[in-house]
Amino acid sequence: MHSNVFDRYRQAESFVHRLDPRLKVVLTALFILSNLLLPDGAWWGFAASFVLLMAGSLLAQLSPWLVLRRSFIAVPFALAAVTTTFATPGPPALVLHFGDMVLSLTRPGLVRFLSIVIRSLLSVQMAILLTSTTSFPDLIHALRHLRLPSTLVAIISFMYRYLFLLSDEAMRLLRARAARSARLPSARAGGSVGWRARVAGNMAGQLFVRSFERSDRVYNAMLARGYDGHLYTLNPHAMKGRDWMTLALFLLILLALQTLSRLV
Residue 99 has, within 13 A of its CA and on its CB side, a CA count of 1
Of 36, 242, 234, the residue nearest 135 (C-alpha): 234
Of 34, 50, 28, the residue nearest 258 (C-alpha): 34
Is 7 strand, coil or helix? coil
Q: Mean pLDDT of all residues in the chain?
A: 82
**Which range, of 125-139, 152-166, 179-193, averages the lowest pLDDT?**
179-193
Are residues 237 and 17 in contact, defined by beta-carbon separation less than 8 angstroms?
Answer: no
The long-range contacts involving 11-15, CB below 8 angstroms and separated by at least 24 positions, are: 12/60, 12/61, 12/62, 12/133, 14/59, 14/60, 14/61, 14/133, 15/59, 15/60, 15/242
CA angle (162, 165, 170) in 5-degree steps: 125
Of 205, 9, 41, the residue nearest 108 (C-alpha): 41
Could you tell me where the DSSP H helices lie in 62-149?
A: 64-71, 75-78, 84-87, 107-133, 136-145
Residue 1 is predicted with a pLDDT of 47
Are residues 31 and 125 in contact, defined by beta-carbon separation less than 8 angstroms?
Answer: no
Are residues 17 and 133 in contact, defined by beta-carbon separation less than 8 angstroms?
Answer: yes
pLDDT tens-digit series, residues 187-240: 555 567 777 778 778 888 888 887 888 888 888 888 888 877 776 666 667 788
Determine the Cα–Cα distance for residues 158 and 164; give it in Å rounded to an integer: 11
pLDDT tens-digit series, residues 57-99: 999 988 888 888 888 888 888 888 888 887 788 787 777 777 6
Band of the pLDDT at 29, cuts 50, 70, 90?
very high
Exposure b/e, 177-195, CB count within 10 A at least 16 = b: beeeeeeeeeeeeeeeeee
Is 105 strand, coil or helix? strand
pLDDT tens-digit series, residues 31-57: 999 999 999 889 999 999 999 999 999
> In this prediction, what percent of the chain has a pLDDT beyond 90?
26
pLDDT of 254 above 90: yes
| Domain ranges, ordered by start, for the chain | 15-134+236-263, 148-182+199-233
Residues 72, 76, 77, 81: is their CA dihedral positive or negative?
Answer: positive
DSSP labels, 137-161: HHHHHHHHHTT--HHHHHHHHHHHH
Q: What is the mean pLDDT of residues 237-261?
A: 90
